[in-house]
A and B are shown apart, each in its own frame.
Chain A
Amino acid sequence: MAAAEGSGAGGTLFPGLADVSISQDIPVEGEITVPVGSHSPDEDFSTLDEPVKDTIMRDLKAVGKKFVHVMYPRKSSTLLRDWDLWGPLVLCVSLALMLQGGSADSKDDGGPQFAEVFVIIWFGAVVITLNSKLLGGTISFFQSLCVLGYCVMPLTVAMLVCRLVLLAGAGTVSFIIRLIVVGAMFAWSTLASTAFLADSQPPNRKALVVYPIFLFYFVISWMILTFTPQ
């Protein structure tokens, strides 16, 4: 009777214990501590279950959105907030592949090798990031790497154009075309990265941060411009 009353009243008195049933042959077990912070990312558990295509498409869309941001550099915080290094990796590898040293003689080193371009880009980006952090910037390390990497995109496009122009011939006219194209893309890269990075600096030190970026893209543009395939 008491038990029946207890279970009847359990529905209203102790709502949390409504489904607890104690039987005689199973020893009492259970957890009396409430794990703190166990409702951490439900999304983690749900992204484990989604099909691979969804995951890939989501990442691809994020990367694509960032490319669009670089093409039309408006001041937006998307590039900064959700940084990723996929885009810079793809751009760096494709640029390094295209810049692969054009040397007919296997003994000399006519142009930059793959490893050289790769190291220059990443080392240069790291130096610029350290510099902007030391100058009192509020941007984080990987955010800055992300922005600098994505802003290499105009120069990759310039490299493609240069290669196509060089297919047609390597005269003065082609040099002038290449010079104009590379110059324009260099200016675009520098402006795009400045638009994102300079805002994180104290206002009177923007020039100090812009100069290394200028130098960095200048070196890359110089490598593109002086590339001669053999």
Chain B
Amino acid sequence: MAAPGAAGGGRSGAPAAEWGGFEDNMQGGGSAVIDMENMDDTSGSSFEDMGEMHQRMKEEEEEEEAEGEAGAGEEEDGEFLGMKGLRGQLGRQVADQMWQVGKRQASRAFSLYANIDILRPYFDVEPVQVRARLLESMIPVKMINFPQKIAGELYGPLMLVFTLVAILLHGMKTSDTIIREGTLMGTAIGTCFGYWLGVSSFMYFLAYLCNAQITMVQMLSLLGYGLFGHCITLFVTYNIHFHSLFYIFWLVVGGLSTLRMVAVLVSRTVGHTQRLILCGTLAALHMLFLLYLHFAYHKVVEGILDTLEGPNVPPFQRVARDIPVVSNTVLNTTAKAIALTL
């Protein structure tokens, strides 16, 4: 008795190690089961085994948690579950399996399409590069016989569009613009992004028709940097309200940035007609946009309003008609000249 006991005691280390090793094997076996679960193998028997294993694991977790209380009750519950029928378990397995498959497919689709890494190369810039490009956008190039390089970068244009939105908001607020449908912020964002994306797409389409060598990202980038002139002009003229100042800025600053865009486009297009079409459209749209931004959201000169209406001014739709005296006389003389010739 004693000898087997002592031998048993001496051997207790080894069997414990054996059992420990066995446990390791079981853990390895357990992970092998889990690996199978992750595979796409849905053959009939392994499916049920997997599901059942999964189910049992969940049940065992619940048992572990509640092991302090009512152990007999737990056992009864466990037995009851077993007796509730395979239907309940099968249903759970099927639902579980469907969930796993669905989740896997959704995550695969998500990682494929919603990957922002697609846009990453367009944001790979340094601050010095951005600054250099901002300054370059105001300098027209001389060489139009050689295709000019356009950096396909989206950080600068995006920031410029947001800056334009901020400046527009400031302008709209100081001019007490009253928007009936929509909100101030929505209007500003819609105007600026609509211009940037819409005119870029339109110019890209025209460029495709006119056989110009430019890609969509380059067009977006070019037009975006062209908004730098708009930002400067609007920033200055929303705060200093002189019409002559605005016209000077419009011609000089707006003109310079338009000239640069036009020159770059011309350098990438062959054929006179095509060049004319592209550049004319771009110049017209760009300059007219600046005019629109100024006059649509400009602060009304109070003198004109007061003389016209008096202090009880009903709310206007958009404070837009701000015709300065100069263009008024121009209009009148033009009308008279036309009337005379007819």
A211 touches B5 (CB 8 A): no
Asked whether any CB of chain B lies closer than 8 Å to the CB of A55, the reply is no
Interface of B is mostly: helix
Interface residues on A, range: 35 or more
Interface residues of A in 11-60 (CB under 8 A from B): 12-16, 31-36, 38, 45
Complex Cα gap A215–B231 (Å): 14
B183 touches A109 (CB 8 A): yes
Asked whether any CB of chain B lies closer than 8 Å to the CB of A9, the reply is yes
Asked whether any CB of chain A lies closer than 8 Å to the CB of B146, the reply is no
Asked whether any CB of chain B lies closer than 8 Å to the CB of A135, the reply is yes
Complex Cα gap A123–B124 (Å): 23
Asked whether any CB of chain B lies closer than 8 Å to the CB of A78, the reply is no
Contacts of A12 in B (CB 8 A): 5, 8-9, 12
Contacts of B186 in A (CB 8 A): 116
A38 touches B163 (CB 8 A): no
A14 touches B15 (CB 8 A): yes
Asked whether any CB of chain B lies closer than 8 Å to the CB of A174, the reply is no
A45 touches B60 (CB 8 A): no
Interface of A is mostly: helix
Spell out A's residues near B (CB within 8 Å). 5, 9, 12-16, 31-36, 38, 45, 105, 107-110, 112-113, 116, 120, 127, 130-131, 133-136, 204-205, 207-208, 211-212, 215, 218-219, 222, 226
Spell out B's residues near A (CB within 8 Å). 1, 4-5, 8-9, 11-12, 15-16, 19, 23, 26-27, 29-31, 33-34, 53, 56-57, 60-61, 64-65, 116, 119-120, 122-127, 130, 155, 158-159, 162-163, 166, 169-170, 173, 178-180, 182-186, 315
Having A35-B61, A204-B127, one finds 18 other A-B pairs with CB under 8 Å, namely A5-B4, A12-B8, A34-B23, A35-B30, A38-B57, A38-B61, A45-B65, A109-B184, A120-B185, A127-B162, A208-B155, A211-B159, A215-B163, A219-B166, A222-B169, A222-B170, A222-B173, A226-B173
